[in-house]
Amino acid sequence: MGRSISVFGLGYVGTVTAACLAHMG
């Protein structure tokens, strides 16, 4: 379960970062 949360967290951070870069770029 903890592993799934970690993967989800990384995916979430990656998505937010990509969205931020897309918005800025």
pLDDT in tens for each of the 25 residues of the chain? 689 999 999 999 999 999 999 999 8
Choose among 13, 18, 16, 10: nearest CA to 2: 10
pLDDT of residue 25: 84
Which amino acid belongs to residue 10? Answer: L
pLDDT at res. 11: 96
Query: What is the distance between the alpha carbons of residues 15 and 13, in angstroms, rounded to a whole number?
Result: 5
Distance CA 17, CA 25 (A): 12
pTM, to two decimals: 0.57
